[in-house]
Amino acid sequence: MPEKIVTVFGSSKIGPDHPTYRLGHRWGQILAEMGFAVATGGYDGAMEAVSLGAKEKGGLVIGVTAPPVFPHRSGPNHHVDIELPSDHLLDRIDRLLDLGHAHLALPGGIGTLTEILAAWNVLYIRWLQGRATKPLGLHASWREIVRPGLMIKPEHVELIRFIESEADLRAFLEGV
């Protein structure tokens, strides 16, 4: 495996005409330009956009798929260099978390939110234990959902970096 991998989460339900697809494409380009391989869920939508952007800039693309969970999908998008199939959804998420030296999330739906919460929980536990953490960067659109409330304290939200611009993304990646 490459030296540094960044996992990117995002929706499978968007096409090339969607603003988030274009954003994912650009994030993929920036990741590859900065020397990172990318890992995604390997399918369509934002995952394809990130993969395409990374490939255009010579980056390595890893797709962690889940054929038994998504039997209607015909395999990874055609930009994936390495497919790592998983049997279960939680195994897929766990593998994506393990692969990434950092994690990013584009705008998305329930699946993306599930991935964010898993990454945030692992980050939080490592933080509580005083262990090294893997950075988590979320597109700024998640700010309204991922905020203090219930028993989530401001310092728990401060574990996350919100990405509002290309400059923010590059600054986030410089710390990985």
Give the distance between the most distant pair of CA atoms in the chain.
44
| Token pair of 148 as six digits | 């203090």
The string of DSSP codes covering 11-51 is -SS--TTSHHHHHHHHHHHHHHHTT-EEEE--SSTHHHHHH
Burial (Cβ within 10 Å: 0-12, 13-18, ≥19) of residue 73: middle
For residue range 60-73, what is the model confidence (pLDDT) as tens digits? 999 999 999 999 99
Return phi, psi of residue 132, to 5°.
Answer: -60, 140
What's the CA gap between 14 and 30, in Å, rounded?
20
Return phi, psi of residue 35, to 5°.
Answer: 90, 15
Query: Which domain, by its residues, includes 68?
Result: 5-174
| Token pair of 121 as six digits | 């929980």
Q: CATH no. for residue 102?
A: 3.40.50.450
For residue range 89-101, what is the model confidence (pLDDT) as tens digits? 999 999 999 999 9
For residue range 107-145, what is the model confidence (pLDDT) as tens digits? 999 999 999 999 999 999 999 999 999 999 999 999 999
So what's the pLDDT on residue 148? 87
What integer is the mean pLDDT of 148-170? 95
Average pLDDT along the chain: 96
- Bridge-partner residues for 147, per DSSP? none
- Tally of domains in the chain: 1
Evaluate whether 34 touches 28 at the Cβ level (below 8 Å): no
Inform me whether the pLDDT recorded for 1 exceeds 80.
no
For residue range 30-46, what is the model confidence (pLDDT) as tens digits? 999 999 999 999 999 99
Residues 6+ apart with CB under 8 A from 121: none
Quote the pTM value: 0.96
Evaluate whether 70 touches 76 at the Cβ level (below 8 Å): no
What's at 171, amino acid-wise?
A: A
